[in-house]
Structure 1
Amino acid sequence: MGKTRKNRIRHIANSNPLGLNIIPVLLDGNQDSLDNGLDPVETMRDQLLNVNVEEKLNALQSLAVMVQSGKKDKLTAICQNDIIRIAAPYLFDRDQPLRNAAAGALRNFTVCMPEVCDVFVEQDVLTPLLALLNEYAQDAQWTPTFDAALDGQLDVRSDTFLQAINLLWNLCESSMTALDTFNQSQLIGGLIRCLDHSVFGLDIAVSVAQCLLVVSENNQKVWNALTQHVHALLILLELNGVCGHHYLRTLGAAILSNVPALSAAYSSNILNSLAQTLAVDHQEALSNVLNARVENERNECVPVLDINMETEEDESEEAAALRRRRLELPTTAEIAIKEVANLLDAHRVAAEIITNLVSNDDDEWVDSEGEDASESEGILDYDISNANGNEDIHDEDKLPAELIEMIKNLGIVQKLWHKAQVLPDNVVQTLREVSVELIMKVKNLRISSLLCLQNLCNALSPDDMGGPKAIYDVWVELGQLVFKGPQDVAVMEPATSLMRAALERLKTNKELFSQMADNDLELIFNGVKNCSVAEIRANWLRMLGTLGCLLSETLVRTIITFIIEACIEEDDVWTISEALDALMDMFGDNDWPTMIVELNLPEVLKKLEKMFKNKLRQQRRELKDRYPAVQTVRTNLTRFIRYMEIEADKYTKSG
């Protein structure tokens, strides 16, 4: 029970990827359409069909603005119309600005509303998109140019490639049809060369790496292609420098780890690279952003005398265009935020790679009994020591010795624990004023780190994790965090999962829990009662079962009573099965005949069994791949009750 599946590396798209500012003129244009009684979607469609390139550009710019506005009704209306089908061919139009506008608008659409990806595929965005990218792949002479007058901004053709590769990434992540189509495109070789950031710049290199990471997941056709480019990927693992370099290096490690043959052959290179990434202090980087903000605010208070005597009326058209483009460039603060965002993403991806490296994805539950298994199994068929299927929880040989040694020597556990820490309240408050995006990335990093630590806790021995005392300290600290202040469910689930895994590792260390009292248990009881998420309730109940193997008989009696009451009040059959499994586990190493009789456990459990079976029948379809595990608990419960009856009978006769 309670197995942890292999985690998929999450690819969180950037919001506002183009860095577009809402253009008042365009918004006014849409407002004019509304004032004149014209539907803006229909107006956009008419402009796209116009032979005039300027009209088409206006339509695509309006689409970009509408997407950024996030008005779901308008975006849904666009999907229900044929606007995407009309706009898609402009990805491969002769006019470069038109290509750029189409790529940017369509890419933004898939970021702000990922569910449109299937619509995009249905409306044949892939044909012109792949034709466009193939043009770059076949042009060996193409390299970007960077405008020094505009802080190294990409030329229009290269920016079009950047938007297009991000669009492809989003489509392949959301649509199997898109991925299958990509597999037939032979684009890998052309994309690999774009990983050279010294030639193509960090923005393009990172986006290409993100795309390759998505298409290489569980995709043997891409694996075969990537094995021809190992050297280019290994070079990424040696990158160092700014946060963008750390992110690109980590993405390179992630791509290698996606390919089984390469992951096995270069596991040492991958782990060393990830350790270097995790060694960078993200809290210090966040503090630097906040300090820069304070400095910028101070500088903004200083009046600046503008000695430029040239008025806007005297500007040439070219100078005016350059001035407007400069105004649209990201500020120093925005660039700093982007850098830290890259670092946080690098740390998150590193944690997810390590999770995948130490997880065994081959463990599946097998329903060996079937739904109609005999309910009259005798005590001779029941082994109380392994009733819950967790008898191998302390096997120390789950990972290769070389991998375990590297994890220890590189301090991976300690580095991840640092990433899982809560930021100080004052830092969070200031960050919230600076960038909500960074707040979300910090949260995602915590979640990934906690999940990775849970998997490491399941896979490593207590000594490899730093010893029982270190694991206990983590358990206590996490407990203090989850009971403190408002709870975020997204963080609570991995936090309680790690607590549960840590506690399992301490089953033979009763001395660490000698000071535990009723009020400590009451905190967990309240955690179960006040939680609306079944997964978290299951974690708490599992922990109570483990504590029942560690605490005094008086406290054990309290735990048993609570678990039974919780099962009676519980609606979710998976949570009930976890609680019952934990209850049976408590009797694996303990004989409490007095408690069995005084609490009348055989009769109480028979009533609970009847309720459990009814809920199992009702929720069978909802359980999906969890059904076999719940069915195993159902079968074991019948045998466990029979064991309870025999023990109670023995005790009664002996008395």
Structure 2
Amino acid sequence: MGKSKTTKFKRPQFNAVGLPVKAVKEVDEEEEDHGEDCSPAAELLEKLQSPNADTREFACASISRVVQQSQTIPGFLQRHAVRRLGPLLLDNSLAVRETAAGALRNLSACGNQEVCEDMVKEDIMTPVTALLTECCAGFDSAVVTMKEQKNAVEDVANEAVNLLWNLCENSSQALSVFNKSGLLDLVAQCLERHPHNVELAVSAAHCLHTVTEDNPELLCSMNAGVFGALEGVLLSSQPGMAATLLRTLAAGTLWNMKASLPATRQAQTLNAVVTTLSQCLDLDAGVLILELRASEEASHRSASPATETEEPSAARDPAEEEMIDEEEPLKEKSKAGKATKADSDFSDLLPKGKKELREATALLTAQQTSLEIIVNMCCSDDPSDDEWEEDSSSDESDMGPDGLCDGVSSLMSPLCLSAEVQGALINHSIPEKVLKKTEFPRQEAVDVCQQSPSWTGIAKRMQRVQSRALTCLHSILSTMDVESLGGAAGLQGAAQHLSMLVFGAAEIPKDEEFLEAVISAMRSLLQMIASNNIPQCMAPQQLMSLCEAASHCDVVSVRVNAVAILGITGSTLAKDKGKAETLQMIGNALLEVATRDPDLVVNGEALDALFDVFADGEEAEIAAKNIKLLPALKTLQPVFKAKVFQLNSLPY
């Protein structure tokens, strides 16, 4: 029976962000009836050429808002909006630069991957690089007259970094330009602004976390300055959830760069990374969100009567409306039939005054990211024998500047990576903290969030953190040994906890994201329990009901894991006396799946499970005869062959 595969998290495809613009001209219905040359896109793009800076700024701000409606994007692209906006990134007016960068940022974030590829083909990376170079050179010279006043140059840089992040996330050509154009050092300079501008630093950290993932070419460019900037963030003690998110992203970036870490700093850096993740997971999101929501309500009560109560939904800020709508996960069907979710996070489109809501969003993003980093730490792939020979043959001539090695360094090599990482995770009680995060979100916090339209997305984010924790638990169970997880008692406790999550309510939860995560964790746990002959608390009837619920789920991996769980359970029961009747029930269920499930992968898993359950043993023989297993398999054979033939006949 095949072992479940751990999931490695990629960065979300889109973190759609943009410049919140209030001075936006609404398009009249009359304008929509005009000809192509009089379309809103044509009019706004024409105004970009105005000699008046205010007019150019207004046009950029309007474009920034309009392109948030994705159906308008083709009209702008057809009129070469990128070529017209690009030069404005170097406009004499800082306000125009900022709004132009915001418009391009929204264009890249609200469009699809093809939009980003087109933007790169239009050579947008050249003015972005020039803009960021000028911004970094002007950070310290920018005039800030009041302590609370924002640095205008940093605001421009923030838009540019977010644009760069979106482009590199979705365009391999943009990433190639990033690798070769010295942008790494520029983004690191933005990261170093964290004592003065956390928002800019978080944007830079997001960008670095993205570009350093699976990018060996960039690792060759790493230097002491970049490491110093990241470690400076990691060791900072700034309060607030945004700072927590910043440290988490820095930890993830350092993990991505582990192959380039100087040998003398590897152990220390690994410990700092895991310490950061541990501290993030220590935060009780349920309690903190209640406090943040109460703080927001207190602010409303102390404000003027006109702003005491929330505006009705019809009068909400358009950006706030966008965030609420986009929080609904967009489901797409992959070729394998698995429902995938597009990460359309429009939280940065919230009005600037939503301080508490932004803090709550940063907290949950930090915890979700921490869990994803731990998953990736557990999923480091071992190299092939050829790669080992190549690594072992390298010598000091492979060393780059600052003593950084081009290859995988000795301490962080996969041969001892598992032991190093496992030790760090255990020393910081990561398995226990992850298990704690798999609990359902605190109901009081969920209720409070659902009372406010602008906070409903936070409730969904809390549920997503739970699902990520379950996926993380699956990875931990798949890579650690029994003793590291608390022995038999620890595994039985985890089994009881998962049993309560799934079977504690009157009905098994039907949310696909939760079901996919919890069932993968259950499979890993039951595999470990069975292979170590540890008694488990889940009754076969409960697992049968889970398999029945999973059979109605569109996500293929849910059905595969449910079948595998039945196989594990049946294989264990086959060793005991008096279990023939239960084995018959399991056998019939597996035959049903093997015969009727439309997906060949699920059919194969069901057959695999049948062979495991009825491989040997007196009870298995009795049950097999009673359900007429052999004739059923003979009947199934031509059906299975036909499905395989049909699959092989499909064009690729």
List alignment gaps of at least 5 residues for structure 2: 309-348, 385-414, 574-578
Q: CA deviation at 1:202?
A: 0.5
Change (3 A) 1:304 1:202: closer
Q: 1 CA distance for matches of 2:585 and 2:307?
A: 71
Offset of residue 147 of structure 1: 6.2
Match of 1:384 in 2: none
Deviations 1:577-607 (A, max 9, x none): 1222222222456452233333332221122
Tell me by how many angstroms 1:561 deviates: 1.0
Could you state the TM-score of these two structures normalised by the residue count of structure 1?
A: 0.78
Whether 1:273 aligns to 2:276 is yes
**CA 304–224 in structure 1, closer or farther in 2 if over 3 Å, else same:** closer
Aligned to 1:208: 204
Q: 2: CA distance between counterparts of 1:252 and 1:421?
A: 27
* 1:545 paired residue number: 567
Q: Which residue of 1 aligns with 2:285?
A: 282
Give the drift of 1:570: 0.8
| 2:119 counterpart of 1:127 | no
- Tell me which moved more, 210-219 or 75-84: 75-84
Match of 1:212, SS?
helix
**Per-residue deviation, 1:399:** 6.6
1:292 Cα deviation from its structure 2 partner:
1.9
**Alignment partner for residue 151 of structure 2, among 143, 151, 154?**
154
Once the two structures are TM-superposed, the CA of residue 33 in structure 1 deviates from its matched residue by 3.5
For residues 417-432 of structure 1, the aligned pairs below 5 Å read: 417-432=435-450
Find the partner of 2:605 among 558, 578, 585. 578
Question: 354, 359, 362: which one pairs with 1:339?
Answer: 359
Amino acid at match of 1:64: S
Mapped to 2, the partners of 1:441 and 1:46 lie a distance apart of 41
**Counterparts of 2:650 and 2:514, CA distance in 1:** 24
Change (3 A) 1:497 1:122: same
Q: Which moved more, 1:556-565 or 1:399-408?
A: 399-408
Counterpart residue number, 1:489? 512
After superposition, give the CA deviation of every residue in 1:230-267 in whole Å (9 maximum; x if it has no partner).
23222222123211221111111111110232575432
Deviates more, 1:166-175 or 1:345-354: 345-354
Q: Which amino acid aligns with 1:542?
A: A
Supply the AA of the counterpart residue of 1:65: R
Q: Secondary structure at the match of 2:598?
A: coil
Contact 2:512 2:553 survives alignment (8 Å): no
Matched, 1:361 2:381: yes
Question: Which string of whole-angstrom CA distances, capped at 9 and with x for unpartnered residues, describes residues 334-390 of structure 1?
Answer: 1111112112111111111111111143499xxxxxxxxxxxxxxxxxxxxxxxxxx
Distance 2:117 2:307 in 1: 52
- The answer to whether the 8 A contact 1:216-1:255 is kept is yes
Q: Hey, what's the Cα distance between the residues in 1 that align with 2:208 and 2:20? A: 23
Decide whether the 8 Å contact of 1:527 with 1:540 is kept in 2: no
**1:348–1:513 CA distance, 2 compared to 1 (3 A):** closer
Equivalent of residue 557 in structure 2, options 524, 535, 548: 535
What CA distance in whole angstroms lies between the structure 2 residues aligned with 1:147 and 1:620? 69
Q: Distance in 2 between matches of 1:14 and 1:578?
A: 36
Return the alpha-carbon distance in structure 1 between the equivalents of residues 307 and 295 of structure 2: 19
Q: Which amino acid letter does the alignment assign opposite residue 594 of structure 1?
A: I
How far off is 1:110 after superposition? 1.8
d(CA) in 1 for partners of 2:650 and 2:513?
Answer: 21
Partner residue in 2 for 1:597 = 625
Q: Which amino acid aligns with 1:577?
A: G
Deviations 1:509-561 (A, max 9, x none): 7774478264x244224213322322211111111111112333321110011
Shift of 1:428: 2.1
Unaligned runs of 5+ in 1: 306-327, 365-396, 625-655
Instruction: Give the conservation status (yes or no) of the 8 Å contact 2:194–2:233.
Output: no
Match for residue 617 of structure 1? 645
Q: Distance in 1 between matches of 2:614 and 2:516?
A: 27
Corresponding position of 1:86: 84
In the alignment, structure 1 residue 233 sits paired with structure 2 residue 230: yes
1:563 corresponds to 2:586: no
- 1:478 is displaced (CA, Å) by 3.1
2-structure distance, mates of 1:443, 1:143: 45
Q: Distance in 2 between matches of 1:261 and 1:11?
A: 23
Mapping 1:633-644, distance limit 5 Å: none
Aligned equivalent of 1:409? 427
Q: Distance in 2 between matches of 1:515 and 1:339?
A: 39
Q: Are residues 1:498 and 2:521 paired?
A: yes
Q: In the alignment, is the contact (CA less than 8 A) between 1:143 and 1:200 conserved in 2?
A: no
2:141, 2:445 → 1: CA distance?
41
1:258 is matched with 256
How many residue pairs match? The answer is: 560
Q: Distance in 2 between matches of 1:19 and 1:291?
A: 25
Which one-letter code corresponds to 1:94 in the other structure?
N
Residue by residue over 1:197-256, the C-alpha shift from the partner in whole angstroms, topping out at 9 and shown as x without a partner, is 455410111111111111111112321222433232222221232112211111111111
| 72-81 or 104-113, larger mean C-alpha shift | 72-81
Equivalent residues in 2 for 1:186-225 (5 A)? 186-225=182-221
How far has the Cα of 1:452 moved from its partner? 1.1
Give the letter for the 2:589 counterpart. F
Q: Report SS of the residue matched to 2:105.
A: helix
Confirm or deny: 8 A CA contact 1:513 1:550 kept in the other structure. Answer: no
Partner of 2:344: none
Distance 1:302 1:107, change over 3 A: closer
Evaluate the alpha carbon distance shift between residue 154 and residue 455 of structure 1 in structure 2; reply closer, same or farther with a 3 A threshold: same
SS of the equivalent of 1:78 reads helix
C-alpha spacing 1:17/1:439, structure 2 compared with 1 (3 Å) = farther
Q: Give yes or no for the alignment of 1:476 onto 2:512.
A: no
